[in-house]
Structure 1
Amino acid sequence: MKKRLFSLASLLLFGVFATAQQVEFEEFDLDNGLHVILHQDNSAPVVITSVMYDVGGKDYEPNRTGFAHFFEHLLFEGTQNIGRGEWFTIVSSNGGSNNANTSQDRTYYFEVFPSNNLELGLWMESERLMHPIINQIGVETQNEVVKEEKRLRMDNAPYGGFLSAIGENLFKVHPYKEKLIGEMEDLDAATLEEFQAYFKKYYVPSNAVLVIAGDIDKAKTKKMVKDYFGPIAKGKKPVRNFGNEVPITETIKAKYYDDNIQIPAIITAYRTPGFKTRESYVLDMISSYLSGGKSSVLYKKLVDEKKMALQAQAINLGQVDYNIFAILALPLGDVSLNTLIDEMDEEIVKIQNELISERDYQKLKNQFENQYVSSNASISGIAENLATNYLLKGDVNLINSEIEIYRTITREEIRDVAKKYLSKNQRLELEYLPSKDKQ
């Protein structure tokens, strides 16, 4: 969804902590399987109502990609009690803001209101789940919206195909190989009945978590939750069996052409364990060591000192089933892509064979302390973290304990994980190139 900012947007920043503090929360389940998490913070008159559904880009039928992202748009069309096109008007006219977003693993909806409009937020989210109107008019309208988004963010955006190019080459079996936004021909070919069936399958209470955070009275909030969400039919929690990817044992070489660029890029990408594993946390630290700011190893070497690259970056894209660890660089002048690969690999080999310095190690731990504090520095950040930790990571209290994982990672672990997962024969080498007529 495009971001929509209303009068309360600035209040999302309330509640900033100078140091990491325990986030208190309370959990309970409704009879229909909906899991509910409450976080009370009366420091500002703001409340967020949010629902995260266990459905994402990876959830599709053959030749029907992109449904999860499509529903992120479609479920703002209206309900039996909210007229078509009225959703955003209701929110803004009551001093609120709202948004939604989709990943390969989940879809997340939320409203931020003055706390005296908590009941309105709960009613609207219960309406989305209980009484949505999924008809041909809405499908056709949002089909055009999604196509425009694809044109804006992928087809006409420089380097807009990065992730899809990596995914389609790094995965052979798992549905992470498909674009999150999907293929437009799949959406065009889908029937109204298929969209309705998708909603019925994935949008059920047992496949979701409701998080309410902010200036609330817990007893009153619990009653409202039961009143608005309790009557919703339970439904069946979806069962998935995606299968496992065969380990990569030989370098995959691929090329991707982008009509919107003039400067090529080189990407090395590795398929690594999902973000619930300790190894994923170690890879977070490795990516930050390589490119966490202008003083990081890759940026300092390739951009500042050797002036071989316009940009250099490492990312550890966290996902439930498999992460993507990728390193990329854009050459400066006549520097070849092969030269950049050699320079990037040199730093990986150092990590694999030497312990990073104690100074760099302490710097990394400080970075993650700061990131942890920042991620819980607003009501909206806390709400999304609570939802993610419950639904995707299986442990709500990670909101308090996750920092301890980073604190206990050793320099030896950094070396050993790099050696285990970042070898040349375990990766994709992707040349991301201008269209042939621009070369």
Structure 2
Amino acid sequence: MLPNGPTAPPPWKRPWRRLAAAGVLALALAGAIPAAAPAFAAEKGVFFPETFTLSNGMQVVLVTNQRVPVVTHMVWYKVGAADEPRGVSGIAHFLEHLMFKGTEEVPPGAFSRIVAKNGGRDNAFTSWDYTAYFQNVARDRLELVMKMEADRMSNLRLTDQVVYPERDVIIEERRQRIENEPADRIGEQVNATLYVHHPYGTPIIGWPQEMATLTREEAETFYKSWYAPNNAVLVVSGDVTAEELKPLAEKYYGSIAARPVPERVRVQEPPISAARRVILRDDEVRQPSIRRNWLAPSYRTDKEGYAYPLQVLSEIMSGGPTSRLYRSLVVEQRIATSAWLGYSPSSWDMTSLAAGASPAPGVTMEKLEAALEADIRTLVEKGVTEEEVATAKKRMLAEAAYARDSLTGPAQTLGAAIATGQSIDDVENWPVRIDAVTADQVNAAARAVLGQTNHVTGLLLPLQDKGS
């Protein structure tokens, strides 16, 4: 799962999961580590992967981990909700569902049954920038899932009989997970207000009126346009060597012909200088909250070198119960039950930095908002200290040392990085780049991002609360 607690990003920044998909190991959001963690030198290398490219252009990445005879097999497509044609929102997530509806070799619904019958589990998830499919299986079942995944890469067969009932499924999924959840509704509205022109403002699952008109033909067009081996990355983590994996990859994926793939062309945000405010009152709200979002650079769009300092800033402000924001609002002032600041730079285009809190009983939202603003203002004006930076980096580097112990974590981290424009070297150099961050760089990044006046504030309030 994505990290819980203060460092977890708000729900609307998370990939949209078809089911309870395994979460992403987020080096960018590394949390608190055990007190007994060993010292970790900031040397190049996190996962030490091997990589090769098939003749059709499909990249293959392997992280060998022989602790248990299990493998994680993932295929990442470099396409997500932000690549959808305007007016067809939700088609990327809809196609993710439809990928389980069968080929001539594997009937509708049989894919997951076969994986489960062989002792594994599978799932998929969609974000704005990628769509990924994964299976966790015993090492001797790797060839089986590779054969099935390669089959649906090029041989998906859709009929009206399977497409339109599944459209009803995703519409119901939206009702349950967005429309019936005030926290997700406010998140969706904050996001749509922050990104006024860019497709990141459109929900991954889609707008309801557009979801209701999605067609089989549109799903097939999206599939044929983007689901090609030369637009995909195969990442395997676990008990397998390159000598074992390469012939299997060539046999099943290498035989699929490359196809022309559209260029990722997205509109850019217009210049906006005004602060904006979104308020949602709902009778179902039991815990009010405030959140504020600022636009921020991602790894790929980072021209000023702010991405790594912002990660360190996030750790300082929200890296556990001793972090600055939590300590101020929850421990010292006792006006909040939770407080967080989150930033994830893994996006194809820009991203956001967000901060938020929930009031303690009897505390007004006005008082909490004023305190949150005061802490942000103090950060911008006075900055962080060298000691805070050193402590945060130590925790983050130790977390990186543990990252390779995970089976799914390496596959998820590497896949998401490559799909959003990073290279393997970028991932492997993460400890070195974090270790090089200085307090001056953190303070410059904080001023640049948190000093903007075009932020969006979202207030989630009970219906009976008349204050704002």
Q: CA deviation at 1:322?
A: 1.2
2: CA distance between counterparts of 1:245 and 1:4?
31
> SS at 1:159's partner residue?
helix
Q: Deviations over 1:128-183 (max 9, x none)?
A: 20211222222223223222322332222241224312211001111001111112
1:281-320 paired onto structure 2 within 5 Å = 281-318=308-345, 319-320=347-348
Contact 2:91 / 2:214 at 8 angstroms: preserved in 1?
no
Q: Aligned-pair distance for 1:296?
A: 1.5
Q: Once the two structures are superposed, what CA deviation does each residue of 1:89-138 show, in whole Å capped at 9, x if it has no partner?
A: 11011121112111111111111111111211210110120211222222
Task: Quote the residue 1:195 is aligned against.
Answer: 219
SS at match of 1:160: helix
The answer to whether the Cα contact below 8 Å between 1:262 and 1:438 also exists between their aligned partners in 2 is no
Q: In 2, distance between residues paired with 1:378 and 1:418?
A: 32
In structure 1, C-alpha distance between the alignment counterparts of 2:95 and 2:185, rounded to whole Å: 22
| Aligned partner of 1:271 among 295, 300, 307 | 295
Displacement of 1:375: 3.3
Tell me how far 1:22 sits from its aligned partner. 4.8
State whether structure 2 residue 137 is matched by structure 1 residue 109: no
How far apart are 1:258 and its partner, in Å?
Answer: 4.1
1:432 aligns to what?
460
Residue 91 of structure 1, aligned match among 107, 115, 124: 115
Aligned partner of 2:440: which letter?
Answer: E
Gaps of 5+ in 1: 6-16
Whether 1:232 and 2:259 are equivalent positions in the alignment is no
Change (3 A) 1:178 1:287: same
Aligned to 1:160: 184
For residues 7-406 of structure 1, the aligned pairs below 5 Å read 22-276=46-300, 277=302, 278-318=305-345, 319-406=347-434
> Which residue is 1:11 aligned to?
none
Count of aligned positions? 428
Deviation at 1:381, TM superposition (A): 0.9
Shift in CA distance, 135/438, structure 1 to aligned 2, threshold 3 Å: farther
Note if 1:411 corresponds to 2:453.
no
Whether the 8 Å contact between 1:271 and 1:427 is mirrored in structure 2 is yes
In the alignment, what sits opposite 2:13? none
Secondary structure of the structure 1 residue equivalent to 2:233: strand
Q: Secondary structure at the match of 2:164?
A: helix
Residue number in structure 1 paired with 2:8: none
In the alignment, the residues of structure 2 paired with residue 271 and residue 386 of structure 1 have an alpha-carbon distance, to the nearest angstrom, of 24
Amino acid paired to 2:86: P
Q: Assess if the C-alpha contact under 8 Å between 1:46 and 1:214 holds in 2.
A: yes
Kindly state the Cα deviation for residue 334 of structure 1 after the two structures are TM-superposed: 4.3
Aligned partner of residue 360 in structure 1, secondary structure: helix
Q: Secondary structure at the match of 1:344?
A: helix
**Structure 1 residues 117 and 286: alpha-carbon distance in aligned structure 2, compared to 1, 3 A threshold:** same
Q: 1:310: Cα distance to partner?
A: 2.4
Deviations 1:62-85 (A, max 9, x none): 221011112222111222111112
Q: Give the counterpart letter for 2:421 in structure 1.
A: K
Please give the secondary structure, in 1, of the residue aligned with 2:264: coil
Deviations 1:184-214 (A, max 9, x none): 3212212211111011111111211011222
Q: Percent identity?
A: 29
Quote the Cα distance in structure 1 between the aligned partners of 2:321 and 2:65.
36
Query: Is the CA contact 1:47–1:216 (under 8 Å) kept in the aligned structure 2?
Result: yes
Task: Supply the distance in 2 between the matched residues of 1:47 and 1:378 (Cα, whole angstroms).
Answer: 11
- Ranges in structure 2 where 5+ consecutive residues have no aligned partner: 1-17, 23-36
Please give the alpha-carbon distance, in whole angstroms, between the structure 2 residues aligned to 1:97 and 1:411.
44
**Aligned residue number for residue 423 of structure 1:** 451
Most deviating of 320-329 and 359-368: 359-368
SS in 2 for 1:429: strand
What TM-score, normalized by structure 1, do the two folds share? 0.91
* Distance in 1 between residues matched to 2:352 and 2:142, nearest whole Å: 38
Flag the 1:217–1:299 CA change in 2: closer, same or farther, 3 A. Answer: closer
SS of corresponding position for 2:424: coil
Q: Which amino acid aligns with 2:372?
A: M
- Corresponding residue of 1:3: 20
State the match for 2:34 in structure 1.
Answer: none
TM-superposed deviation, 1:422: 0.5
Q: Which residue identity lines up with residue 313 of structure 1 in the other structure?
A: W
Hey, what's the Cα distance between the residues in 2 that align with 1:214 and 1:311?
Answer: 37
CA distance in 1, matches of 2:452, 2:73: 45
Cα deviation, residue 272, structure 1: 0.8
**Residue 210 of structure 1: SS of its match in structure 2?**
strand
Q: 1:124 to 1:253 in 2, by over 3 A?
A: same
* 1:307-344 Cα distance to aligned partner (Å, 9 max, x none): 21222211114322111111112223443333322212
* CA deviation string 1:341-365 (max 9, x = no partner): 2212222222223242343222211
Relative distance call for 1:255 and 1:307 in structure 2 (3 A) is same
Q: Does the CA contact (< 8 Å) of 1:257 and 1:432 recur in 2?
A: yes
Distance 1:429 1:24, change over 3 A: closer
Q: Distance in 1 between matches of 2:464 and 2:225?
A: 44
Aligned AA for 2:354? A
Shift of 1:256: 3.1
Match of 1:315, as an amino acid? G
Is the Cα contact below 8 Å between 2:46 and 2:403 reproduced in 1? no
C-alpha distance in 2, partners of 1:427/1:269? Answer: 6
| Distance change >3 Å, CA 297–CA 394, structure 1 → 2 | closer
Alpha-carbon distance in 1 for matches of 2:299, 2:372:
24
The answer to whether the 8 Å contact 2:167/2:214 transfers is no
